[in-house]
Structure 1
Amino acid sequence: MVRRTRAEMEETRATLLATARRVFTEHGYADTSMDDLTAQAKLTRGALYHHFGDKKGLLAAVVEQIDTETDQRLQAISDAAEDDWEGFRSRCRAYLEMALEPEIQRIVLRDARAVLGGASPESQRDCVESMQRLIDKLMKQGVVEEADSQALASLIYGSLAEAAFWIADGEDSRGRLTRGIDALELLLRGLLVKR
Structure 2
Amino acid sequence: MRSRREDYSESTRSALVRSAVRLFTERGYAGTSLDEIAKRARVTKGALYHHFSGKQAVFEAAFDEVEAEVKGRLEKILTGSQPPWERALAGLREFIGSCLDPAYQRIALQEAPVVMGWARWREAEDRYSFGLIKQALQDLIDAGEVLAVPVEVTSRLLFGALCSAATEIAHATDQRKVGEEIEDVVVRLLNQVRSAAPGT
TM-score by length of 1: 0.90
State the partner residue of 2:85: 85
Closer/same/farther in 2, CA of residues 193 and 182 from structure 1, 3 Å limit = closer
Closer/same/farther in 2, CA of residues 168 and 81 from structure 1, 3 Å limit = farther
State the partner residue of 1:182: 184
State the partner residue of 2:159: 157
Where has structure 1 moved over 3 Å in runs of 4 or more? Answer: none
The C-alpha deviation readout for 1:164-185, integer Å capped at 9, x for no partner, is 1110111111121121112111
Identical amino acids, percent of aligned pairs: 31
Structure-1 separation of matches of 2:174 and 2:136: 32
Q: Report the CA distance between 1:46 and its aligned residue.
A: 2.1
Q: Report the CA distance between 1:80 and its aligned residue.
A: 4.1
State the partner residue of 1:19: 19
**Secondary structure in structure 1 of the residue aligned to 2:148:** coil
State the partner residue of 1:136: 138
TM-score by length of 2: 0.88
Matched, 1:109 2:112: no
State the partner residue of 2:193: 191
Structure-1 separation of matches of 2:40 and 2:148: 53
Give the counterpart of 2:126 among 124, 127, 135: 124
Structure-1 separation of matches of 2:195 and 2:180: 26
Structure 1 portions without partners, runs of 5+: none
Matched, 1:48 2:41: no
Matched, 1:35 2:35: yes
Structure 2 portions without partners, runs of 5+: none
- Number of corresponding residues: 192
Kept in 1: contact 2:78–2:136 (CA 8 A): no
Amino acid at match of 2:130: V
Structure-1 separation of matches of 2:161 and 2:122: 17
Amino acid at match of 1:109: L
Q: Report the CA distance between 1:18 and its aligned residue.
A: 1.0
